[in-house]
Structure 1
């Protein structure tokens, strides 16, 4: 078990539960010692129980948080690109294969969602243009 990492991060919705791994104990079993809870949104790191995190713990957690934030940001952009593809596929479906009943079921919801998205995108584009025009 010598090739195991020193830490394991059990991902949770807002961060992770951090474990220190120990495979070199007298029982030759993998021990997972919970050392901290991490909140990725606000950057909070709470040691578990009365534990004090050492410099190596803090560095490993900080590195994981940076990597996790980058991974989540990349996933978010990938999701947006997929949404663009899905909008195009939906347009093709509506034009070529959708029945009247199917269109009746989704048209109002799609129109409202697209109107909301268009409103936000136009406003954000105008804000960017205004900032670019500032001296």
Structure 2
């Protein structure tokens, strides 16, 4: 039993997507993908392709996709940060037990500067949150 294709396909781009309407109901039974809109996730803009007028169904599907995409991207952002914490711990263990003096010389300054910068930002943001909580 073949699965049914979705009515819409979203080709992910750097800052959004290109939305296609998927059509298999043609004489050749081929999959046709008709581009219907450009989506900009940064500003939420949806531009119809050419002179096309988007239907209510088109707009509803695009809006739903944009919400889901925003949630996925937000989840990926925090997942990346959790991975960075893991990498910091792995890097600490490497520096403690495996790194040669030459390897440490190669990365120490860059790591110290990056960690100092990160620490400065985190301390400032923590202080801001504490002051906001007291207000």
TM-score of the superposed pair, with normalisation by structure 1: 0.97
Give CA deviations for 1:71-109 in whole Å, capped at 9, x if unaligned.
011111111000000000000000100001000000000
Q: Report the RMSD for the aligned CA atoms in angstroms.
A: 1.0
d(CA) in 1 for partners of 2:23, 2:44? 26
| Contiguous gaps of at least 5 residues in structure 2 | none
Q: Shift in Å at residue 15 of structure 1?
A: 0.7
The total of aligned residue pairs comes to 134
What's 1:27 paired with? 28
Q: Shift in Å at residue 13 of structure 1?
A: 1.2
| Contiguous gaps of at least 5 residues in structure 1 | none
TM-score of the superposed pair, with normalisation by structure 2: 0.97
> Do the aligned residues in 2 keep the contact of 1:2 with 1:23 (CA within 8 Å)?
no
* Runs of 4+ residues deviating >6 angstroms: none
d(CA) in 2 for partners of 1:2, 1:82? 36
SS of 1:41's equivalent in the other structure is coil
